[in-house]
Amino acid sequence: MAKAATDKRKTAASTIGVDQSLFQRDEAYAVSSWISQIEQIAMTATRRRTRTLGLVSPDQGAGVSKISELMATSFAKAQHSTLLLSLREPVDFSDAPQASWSPDATDASKYVMHDTRGFDVLSPAPTPATRALFNNVELMRRSIDGDLQRYSQIVMDLPNLNDTGADAINAIGPAVACDAVLLVCMTGRTTRNDARKAVERLQTAGANVAGTILNDEVNATLGGDIANFTRYFRWLSPSLARRIEQFCRQSSLLN
């Protein structure tokens, strides 16, 4: 049980952070340095007037949805009106699909849900008839500037680039409609060649690739390994074990 909790906390140690509200107060120190890093990304986006920020990965399992939620949380905590636009829902092929938002809609408010972390969530379920609308870059941009104009920050949780079948939204169109895109790579899984090809696909289509987020969830640093090992000795001296763990996670030499 303890190991599972530890694994959940190990998200993007080098680039992003984890919301302290997700864990008990006495363990918040373990992720404090990560929080500052994702806040830095959010502050940079705000300073550069990057209103629509897309996050995408070459393949599944990179933690894009988790990172998107953390990014939206950071914007919301800074008192920005924030929308998390999740485009990961599969295409609804049923005979009677439920009504859902699409880029040609004029009232997104009836489909928006509010998250307790302070941001709104819009998660459209495309149909075979509306799926192609998300590939229309100009239509997406008009919707962002029109129907979604009340939001000062929009975080797009984009489908994986390799999800090119008819059962998912193509990530390229929405990515091009964003002001900037961050490529999320899983350390130890995403190869440099995969990352290079993903960047080339995005840039060729016209997307503004602003940088890369490295998720170290399955490739812990030396500092992370030592910090996790220290937890086994917390019963001997809780305060000392916590100080050692905090030092290991924050040390630039060990991470």
Burial (0-12, 13-18, 19+ Cβ within 10 Å), 27: middle
**Distance, CA of 76 to CA of 119 (rounded, Å):** 6
pLDDT tens digit string along 85-139?
999 999 998 888 888 999 998 889 999 999 999 999 999 999 999 999 999 999 9
Mean pLDDT for the chain? 80
From 85, 169, 89, 161, select the one nearest 119 (Cα to Cα).
Answer: 85
pLDDT of residue 51: 96
pLDDT classification of 227: cutoffs 50, 70, 90: low
pLDDT of residue 29: 37
State mean pLDDT over 195-208.
94
pLDDT of residue 7: 42
**Distance, CA of 104 to CA of 119 (rounded, Å):** 23
Q: Where are the domains of the chain?
A: 2-219
pLDDT of residue 6: 41
Q: Is the confidence at residue 9, as pLDDT, over 50?
A: no
State mean pLDDT over 199-212.
93
**Distance, CA of 89 to CA of 165 (rounded, Å):** 13
State the architecture of 2-219 in CATH terms: 3-Layer(aba) Sandwich (3.40)
pLDDT of residue 27: 36
State mean pLDDT over 242-250.
73
Q: One-letter amino acid identity for 19?
A: D
pLDDT classification of 69: cutoffs 50, 70, 90: very high
